[in-house]
Amino acid sequence: MFIFLSKKIAIPKGIKLHSLAWNPDQGWIACGGESGLMKVLKLESATGQKDPQKAGSDLSMNQTLEGHNGSVMCVTWNSNYSKLTTSDENGLIIVWMLHKGMWYEEMINNRGKSVVRDMKWTSDGQKICIVYEDGAVIVGSVDGNRLWGKELDIYLQHVEWSPDGKRILFVTNNGAIHIYDAAGAKVKLMQLPAATLAAASKPPSDGSARESKHAGDDGDDDDEGYARHNGTSRGGNGASSPALIADIDWYDGAEGYVHQAAPTLAIAFVNGTVQIGRHTDDASPVVVDAGMRVRLAKWSTNGAVLAVSGSVTTRSGSEKKEVSTVKFYTPYGDLVRVLKVPGAGISSLSWEGGGLRIALAVDAYIYFANIRPDYMWGYAPAANVLAFSYQKPDRAEACVALWDLNSQERHLKMVRDLKLLRAAGENALLVSGPVNAAGAHAATLCNAIGSPLEVKHVALAPRFAAMTTTHVVIADARVVYVWQYRTAAQQQVRKYIVATAIKRSTGATVLGSGRERILDPSKAFNPAETPVVPADTYKAPPPDAPPPQDPISAVTANETTLVVACESGLVQVYGLPLLSAEGQIRCRTAPTLLALNCDGSLVAAIDRLGMLTILDLLEAKDGEFMAGDGDTWDVRWSEEDPDQFAVMEKTRLVVFNGLQSEEPVSCNGYVCQFKGLCVKTALLDQIMASPESLEPDWVTEVETKALSDAREVIASSGLAAAYADAAAGGATTHRRLWQLIAESALEALELDVAERAFVGCGDYQGIQFVKRVMSVSDRVKQRAEVSAYFQRYDESEALYRNEMDRKDLAIDLRQRLGDWFRVVHLVKQGGADDQQLIAAWDRIGDYYSERGKWGKASQYYKQARNMPQLVECYLRLEEYSLLGDLIGTLPADTSANQQLLAATGKRLQSLGQATLAATAFVKAGDVKAAIDSAVLVSRWDMAVELAAQHEYPQMEGLVARAAAKLLSDGDRLQAVELYRKAGKASEAALLLAKVAEECGKAGADPLRAKKLHVLAALEVERHRRQAISAAQALTKAGRTAADVVTATAATMDTLMATSDDVGDKRAARVLDSAWRGAEAYHYYMLAQRQLYQGQTEAAMRTAIRCCEFEDVLDAFDVYALVALAAYHCSYFGVCSKAFVKLETLEPAPPSSAVASTDASSVGSSTGGSTARPDADAIQTLAVSIFTRHQPVDPQPLEMHLRDCLEEGRPYQACTVTGQVISSRTRAIMCRTCRHFAAEVELRDISHCPLCHSSTL
């Protein structure tokens, strides 16, 4: 950071000022002084100038406000509501308002006693707190209402609001700080740490010894800054201090924070101690000794710099002199600059909004000092990208913008705890951290759009950095980290650079090798030490380690040379990439900025006082001061001439040729590059003020005197004279001068001069262009070609279209430029065919896809019918529905489309989109790949379905593997579905029947068991239909009836053999009598339903029908149901027979774990059998019944019922009622299950009660 006095305003009649405040938003300056002086001034902002290269300092408002009689002691702005509040020594308070460009009184208040010591508004401008010397406190609102007031039994000196407006800090005249809430209730007394108390209790320092050291610039101040940075001056806990507090300021965070955890509360003591903490309870704040008697301390409006003003006593012999001084600190206590101000003392100071200027009230003058902040920025010349960092108020991370100056595009990257930013070549370097508990920092190498290429962890706290096209250099106060990074372009020149370095290091000591190294400058020239170690073996010193004796103050590097400067003024030179120690030289002062020339022979050094020194590295001697008045804050060497460099002095740019300076040029920018007799500068002040809306003219080029003189000769004497002057210079004529002559000759269409000038500058492409223009006979076309050469494409297009009526040439021009949007516009107006329009749409799609805008790219690819890229866009957007539509409409009639479908299927398969992948593979004709994609995600059902649809030859093995996998996972119903999709109806039926039987045995819901039996029977029916269909197909194929019979018999044999193969006779019964299980559970549930409905006799008859199914149903359940129904309908004879059956049943086996497990695989039971009682319990129950009732039926039981009850002989029963169907009953047979139901019972039923299929 560099600070210099830029302007002084004198107050009329020499009236001394006491107060000063700068409105941060609107730019008004309020100043109050003796005799009731109150003025409002306004300076034009530097960022508001029409010419942004000129610093704004013109006075645009000067209004005297009448109303005060005594000296105005306090002034404060409410920038949110454009109000000004002032108070004088008599206690009169006036609130001023702006009306039609002038300030008028709005409110007046006079308490009538004591004097106002301080006034502060909250950050949102809603409340003001006014404190009087006698302890009175008034808090009011912005509309003038008094919110509350108190009479505190203390003498007040200062007041400060917390950033959130919830706390008020009252500072007493004895150094105590009382904390109250916003409603006026006392919270506590602020406890200052012990280190602060110890430092603040010392007698005030006159600063004489310290000031003399600073004047000699031996670096002691920066030693202290380093110690503070490493925490050696942080304090502990303690009690409140009696030391006098000079000022207090708490940054409100309105413009963001330098770092999220940066300290913001500054408390300055009169004796020179300054405490900077994060909040009122910070146990370890930063403690700074300013070395002077302090009067004021104010944060800049962005919280980046703390200005501490006071006076330093200097001695010259026996004479003492008070020097008004302002010292500027970072939030972490590092001293960055010292500003001496003439006059008897600084009575007030205030920052401009944005922190680029500070106003100082000194006697009867207002001094303005311009700030040149140390922005984090860098310029990558190969990519023409300006990288800079700024802070968004609502984000904790730093926002790094990479501004492409060619396309004017801006790429953003959020970085947490960004410390340093540099750029070189085509890359940018971002140093951030710490990233771990060990304190390591991350060095991220990015390309021109912010994409990280490589990240290294550096075990040091970075303070300085330099970057070249081959190396990254990062340093703290002790050591230097050197990283030789590699990119594609640098690999090509690496051998040449190494060879050059070896030649240079002949006779020098090669200190180390490897891509990452740590260099300790204190050991570099000591043969007994090892100054270079691999970066991965370096151990950082502990935090409590003593500071280095000679800390590093600056570093710089180019492709072949590294220069390290120390606080003592020692400058060391090393060769790259071998880190060979080549020499050291002594500078008179400690450099804070270094710059190497293009061949590494000279280095420019700027110290903290702004003094520039040129050092000759080859002869190991220093040069002379080039800017002895201490105004230099930046320097940049030419990339082509080792003796030419550009220097920034205050707001002037000076170009030096050797030691001769050219005429200064007014400039307010930062130097990016010096090349081709032009200095490229960036107006970072404007860029940082409006980082979201960048203007191209904020990066400009300033021409050197040689280039501007050549332009003047061309304008006054013509091209011939300019060419003669350039030719007279011979080999010393700069290439840029030849280029200027060639360009001017092209503009004038003096092609012969242009050709010779291009020969002079060695521009082969320019020579070829001139020859091509010479071959054109049309003068207008020549002008158009020249306009296109100078990138005036609109002018060239207008010449082609309007003066030549050649739209085809205009389209060709835009195609060569790659301006495909304009090509589409021109083609639609006529002059080209559809193929060119399709090509343009395709290129526009490429434009958007390269920038990651896949949605827009897909629109243009669709119009261009570029199917491969359209597929890529849909995949990037995860628009799988659109991709499915595209696959469905894409014809597979060409090999290209088939390859695209196959590639798309592979991409979808890798993304887990098995269905779409299978669709793509099938359409591409690769059924195996489709099946494999389904198998890969365990979609066995899909795989089998695909195999069945496309008659996959290995289907049998696939089905077997899939079924085995599902059965091993216990998912048997999914295996059933798999068999069904594979056309394996018999396997599905067997598995369903097995599950149904186990479900029944487990006592699960009978309805579920019935459903499973029905499904098994339906699969058997489907298997039979398939066999019949196959037989019919043989008949249609011309086979004889005998062959058909034989095939049918073979089919049925195969069906039966299936069960033999598995050794399951039960399965054979299922295949032979498919509906038996469903029928059993159907009548079983029907009987229970009839019983619960009160149809006891019908329930008994239906229950007797279940006696046939003892192999399916539990015999105990069947006869228990018969006994129960018979008992309720008084058929005690049937009930007796049922009890006889129950008593003769074998004891029930213990339930098996297998049955239980299988039942759970079907689902949880909602009903089922209870535990079977033993024979004694059954006999006891029978005795209790039949001792009261004779075992006699009301009427004889029908023969078919008696046979079924006693022998289990079946009979034809109605599926609706369970009653017998005789020859006289009109019955209807179900077409599916082939079971009968009485026609009269089907009047209100549309489905078969057994199989649930339609009866129509």
**Same domain assignment for residues 83 and 222:** yes
Inter-CA distances, 1005 with 319, 593, 723, 1001, 1109, Å:
112, 88, 107, 10, 17
Round to whole Å and give the CA distance between 687 and 669. Answer: 10
**Same domain assignment for residues 1119 and 1216:** no
Closest CA to 583 of 557, 547, 617, 546: 617
Round to whole Å and give the CA distance between 643 and 640. Answer: 9
**Same domain assignment for residues 1185 and 1224:** no
- The enclosing H or E element of 1207 equals helix 1199-1207
Beta-strand relationship, 660-661 and 652-657: antiparallel
**What is the DSSP secondary structure assignment for residue 929, as one 8-state letter?**
H
- The enclosing H or E element of 991 equals helix 985-1001
Packed helices 854-864 and 867-877: angle between N→C axes, nearest 10 degrees: 160
Round to whole Å and give the CA distance between 83 and 913. Answer: 64
Q: Exposure of 204 by Cβ count < 10 A (0-12 exposed, 13-18 middle, 19+ buried)?
A: middle
Q: Is residue 466 part of a domain?
A: no
Q: Is residue 336 part of a domain?
A: yes
Round to whole Å and give the CA distance between 108 and 62. Answer: 23
Round to whole Å and give the CA distance between 362 and 296. Answer: 13
**What is the DSSP secondary structure assignment for residue 542, as one 8-state letter?**
P
Question: In this predicted structure, what is the pLDDT of residue 242?
Answer: 61
Closest CA to 1013 of 1087, 1076, 1103, 1086: 1076
Q: Is residue 1226 part of a domain?
A: yes
**Same domain assignment for residues 1223 and 1077:** no
Inter-CA distances, 249 with 267, 284, 646, Å:
7, 18, 39
Q: Three-state SS for 569?
A: coil
Displacement of CA 1029 from its chain's centroid (Å): 64
Helices (H), 1163-1198: 1175-1186
Structure token pair of residue 1211: 């009979």
**Same domain assignment for residues 240 and 306:** yes
Question: In this predicted structure, what is the pLDDT of residue 1145?
Answer: 82
**Same domain assignment for residues 1164 and 1216:** no
pTM for the model: 0.67
Q: Is residue 1106 part of a domain?
A: yes
Amino acid at the residue 601: S
**Same domain assignment for residues 1173 and 1232:** no
Round to whole Å and give the CA distance between 70 and 747. Answer: 70
Round to whole Å and give the CA distance between 170 and 91. Answer: 19
**Same domain assignment for residues 210 and 257:** yes
Structure token pair of residue 994: 């097995």
Q: Which residue, of 348, 372, 396, is where some domain finishes?
A: 372
Q: Is residue 414 part of a domain?
A: no
Round to whole Å and give the CA distance between 1092 and 1125. Answer: 10
Round to whole Å and give the CA distance between 848 and 62. Answer: 54
Question: In this predicted structure, what is the pLDDT of residue 1142?
Answer: 86
Round to whole Å and give the CA distance between 445 and 470. Answer: 12
Q: Which residue, of 740, 775, 810, is where some domain finishes?
A: 775
User: Is-contact 571 565, C-beta < 8 A?
Assistant: yes
Q: Exposure of 104 by Cβ count < 10 A (0-12 exposed, 13-18 middle, 19+ buried)?
A: exposed
Amino acid at the residue 1010: K
Question: In this predicted structure, what is the pLDDT of residue 286?
Answer: 93
Question: In this predicted structure, what is the pLDDT of residue 695?
Answer: 94
Q: Which residue has the tokens 């190991």?
A: 620
Structure token pair of residue 1149: 């086996």
Structure token pair of residue 444: 């991220």
Peptide bond into 1173 cis (omega under 30): no
- How many Cβ atoms are within 10 Å of 481's Cβ, its own excluded? 24
| Complete DSSP assignment for 59-88 | EEEEEEPP---S-EEEEEEETTTTEEEEEE
Amino acid at the residue 1215: T
Q: Based on the structure, what is the number of domains in the chain? A: 4
Closest CA to 1137 of 1073, 1079, 1185: 1185
Three-state secondary structure readout of 869-924: HHHHHHHHHCCHHHHHHHHHHCCCCCHHHHHHHHHHHHHHHHCCCHHHHHHHHHHC
Inter-CA distances, 393 with 414, 421, 917, 1074, Å:
13, 20, 47, 78
Structure token pair of residue 225: 């800054």
Q: Is residue 377 part of a domain?
A: no
Backbone angles phi, psi at 694, to 5 degrees: -85, 145
- How many Cβ atoms are within 10 Å of 510's Cβ, its own excluded? 14
Question: In what side-by-side order are the strands of the sheet with 92-99?
Answer: 72-78, 83-88, 92-99, 102-110
Q: In the chain, which stretches have pLDDT less than 50? A: 46-55, 207-241, 488-489, 505, 510, 512-513, 625, 627-628, 1055-1063, 1151-1169, 1256
Q: Three-state SS for 861?
A: helix
User: Is-contact 34 56, C-beta < 8 A?
Assistant: no
**Same domain assignment for residues 1229 and 1105:** no
Round to whole Å and give the CA distance between 1063 and 1069. Answer: 12
Q: By residue range, what is the domain housing residue 730?
A: 704-775
Q: Three-state SS for 812?
A: helix
**Same domain assignment for residues 1113 and 1216:** no
**What is the DSSP secondary structure assignment for residue 801, as one 8-state letter?**
I
Q: Which residue, of 372, 407, 440, is where some domain finishes?
A: 372
Inter-CA distances, 1239 with 237, 429, 674, 1095, 1216, Å:
101, 91, 106, 20, 10
**Same domain assignment for residues 6 and 50:** yes
- Pick left, alpha or beta for residue 566 (phi over 0 → left; psi -120 to 50 → alpha; otherwise beta): beta
Q: Is residue 957 part of a domain?
A: no
E strands of 317-404, at which residues?
319-329, 335-341, 346-351, 357-362, 365-372, 377-380, 385-391, 398-404
Q: Is residue 449 part of a domain?
A: no
CATH number at residue 1224: 3.30.40
What residues have CB less than 8 Å from 1037, skipping those under 6 apart? none
- Distance between first and last Cα of the chain: 96
Round to whole Å and give the CA distance between 65 and 72. Answer: 11
Residues in the chain: 1256
Q: Three-state SS for 690?
A: coil
Cα four-point dihedral sign 1014, 1016, 1020, 1022: positive
What residues have CB less than 8 Å from 493, skipping those under 6 apart? 470
Backbone angles phi, psi at 349, to 5 degrees: -150, 155
What residues have CB less than 8 Å from 43, skipping those under 6 apart? 7, 27, 29, 56, 57, 58, 59, 60, 368
Q: Which residue has the tokens 């080792």?
A: 642
pLDDT, one tens digit per residue, over 26-77 is 889 999 999 999 999 988 754 444 443 344 556 778 899 999 999 999 999 9
CATH number at residue 45: 2.120.10
**Same domain assignment for residues 1084 and 1115:** yes
